[in-house]
Chain A
């Protein structure tokens, strides 16, 4: 299937005390229409920064390089300006719904203030806002239009934020940990909503989460990041069932079997032994080598390239310890 959003060799620097620090180092991402791309990785691995760079909302202290294409068209530097893309073609929702809506502006206003550019008049925009509220299952949209964010629960606010992201009829929805701040009981509802919108609207969804259980349930494709680089990507079920990269293997290995009793919290990635590498103190060679049980001498020297591993899968490991002859046979049989 064709990629809706394609990111090639994304590099992001952040202004540091002495010189810029490379926080995202050559990330490739592909989002297909009507499917969910999951991004996983420890805290500080550059997930949010990468996502925010795709609509150009990183602050002045960030610089990026790389190719971002939407339906083949180059956007950002040297292409269509982000200002024309944001909210229209690519929308984004954030982690904390309690703070991501303006506390002093009525929901109705927040849902319509960015509709003007598509040439709608205000009555139309109003009607459309109500429809969107209905679509994200907000009870009593007429009342909701006049209400303020503090009059809604966290889950409801996240639904409103999603409705707001849909105003411009975007092709891509980026959700940065959309349920992390929510009560476990409402997480599932919000995730189901995102999945439903993805299918019904043929949206390309990119979802960032710490929760591998969520990944398992939601994601069609999965990209795993470590210290600002992609270490593994591929179809989500395959990556989760038979990881090819030692880091992914450790992440997945920390998943307890069976449904978690607390509804998902325990399935969050368990801390892997050793100090997580951040882009600020990225080890030479393979960034994972100080914590990797398979590490060899060369791992500390050579940066492993991201290599094709068959069936749409890629991973970046010099040793490739989970290589299996079965996989090769299967691949050859195709």
Chain B
């Protein structure tokens, strides 16, 4: 009956909330740029360029800085909606262009790290719960404790040194080996674009470049997901409905997959959603160390250069990703837990 339609209502509601959140972030950024001490033009252009009257005038026109604040706000928002984030003080090019290169790069790195950590984390966490107190559980505990305590930059450097320089199993830094041309741009993600163009050699090279930074980035979240999965599974194993499933005569494999993991996924999905912040923080370090031109590196460099337009652009992209992920987790929640849809 109403189960299906109430689900779509739930999706639309969550979508509305997401749009509202993004609008809020953009507004706060608009206000923040005007609250920074000094005049807006020097903040947006940098002291040096602001001294140039031509550049000043261009800036004033672009953002309508001589108009009343509500009108400025309107212009600011329409510019953003049209994808105009202004000119970077650091690259002297449009922020939007740099974002267009950095976002897909980070996306492919982040997706790989996310997959590695989710698959390994859920597997190890479940194994650990089922083997509670036994050898496997203890070994996994050692791994997770280590994973949480090792500093990321150290791990990144060691991995780079061991796998790329000593063992030469993996290429070094960057997105592609020197001499390998980037595939024709479709998504901006080299692995996917290479596959689309049928360039298997390029795909392999791009993938190998992702693997080490992706794995390093995955370590921290993987350990957290392992921990959460373990406790979620242990909790569900004690639930009455698992006992019912056993009393019904289901096989233990079926009970594990159809009943236990299904229920444990609710908390696990939340954790994976929240974990995104940790991946992003890690990406700043890992991308810098592996000279991987993604949003982590762009964020780091924009901050170091005090590049205001760059930071605003990055800030919005991060907000979009955050809001997008929380939207997806909420929807996933609704898909896996029918009780949420109703409320």
A298 interfacial by beta-carbon distance below 8 Å: no
Q: Which residues of A contact B (CB under 8 A)?
A: 55, 57, 83, 85-88, 91-92, 94, 96, 99-105, 113-114, 117, 143, 146-148, 150, 161, 164-165, 167-168
Q: Give CA–CA (A88, B245) in the complex, Å.
A: 13
**Contact check: which of A83, A104, A148 meets B263 at CB < 8 Å?**
A104
Query: Which of B239, B241, B258, B259 has the most chain A CB atoms inside 10 A of its CB?
Result: B241
Query: Which of A83, A87, A88, A102 has the most chain B CB atoms inside 10 A of its CB?
Result: A102
Q: Give CA–CA (A98, B1) in the complex, Å.
A: 22
Docked-complex contact A103 and B249, CB < 8 angstroms: no
Q: Give CA–CA (A258, B302) in the complex, Å.
A: 84
Q: List 24 A-B contacts (CB under 8 A).
A: A57-B243, A57-B247, A83-B251, A86-B246, A86-B248, A87-B248, A87-B250, A88-B249, A91-B247, A94-B244, A96-B240, A101-B244, A102-B263, A103-B241, A103-B263, A103-B339, A104-B262, A113-B248, A113-B250, A113-B254, A114-B249, A117-B249, A147-B3, A165-B248
Given contacts A55-B247, A57-B247, A168-B249, contact A94 B240 (CB under 8 A): yes
Q: Give CA–CA (A55, B250) in the complex, Å.
A: 13
Docked-complex contact A113 and B258, CB < 8 angstroms: yes
CB-nearest residue of chain A relative to B341? A148
Q: Give CA–CA (A113, B342) in the complex, Å.
A: 25
Docked-complex contact B3 and A87, CB < 8 angstroms: no
Docked-complex contact B241 and A164, CB < 8 angstroms: no
B245 / chain A contacts, CB cutoff of 8 Å: 102
Could you mark each residue 221-252 of chain B with 1 if its beta carbon is under 8 Å from any beta carbon of chain A, else 0?
00000000000000000011101111111110
Q: What is the minimal beta-carbon distance from A142 to any residue of chain B, in angstroms?
A: 10
Q: Give CA–CA (A325, B243) in the complex, Å.
A: 49
Docked-complex contact A101 and B241, CB < 8 angstroms: yes
B338 interfacial by beta-carbon distance below 8 Å: yes
Docked-complex contact B247 and A150, CB < 8 angstroms: no
Could you mark each residue 248-278 of chain B with 1 if its beta carbon is under 8 Å from any beta carbon of chain A, else 0?
1111001000110011001000000000000
B47 interfacial by beta-carbon distance below 8 Å: no
B263 / chain A contacts, CB cutoff of 8 Å: 102-104
**Contact check: which of B243, B259, B338, B339 meets A94 at CB < 8 Å?**
B243
B39 interfacial by beta-carbon distance below 8 Å: no
Q: Label chain B's interface by main secondary structure.
A: helix
Docked-complex contact B339 and A164, CB < 8 angstroms: no
A114 / chain B contacts, CB cutoff of 8 Å: 248-250
Q: Give CA–CA (A181, B128) in the complex, Å.
A: 34
Q: Give CA–CA (A149, B197) in the complex, Å.
A: 49
CB-nearest residue of chain B relative to A91? B247
B259 / chain A contacts, CB cutoff of 8 Å: 102, 105
B342 / chain A contacts, CB cutoff of 8 Å: 150
Could you tell me which residues of chain B, from 315 to 343, have a CB within 8 Å of some CB in chain A? 336-339, 342
Q: Give CA–CA (A104, B342) in the complex, Å.
A: 13
A99 / chain B contacts, CB cutoff of 8 Å: 239-241
Docked-complex contact A87 and B247, CB < 8 angstroms: yes
Docked-complex contact B338 and A148, CB < 8 angstroms: yes
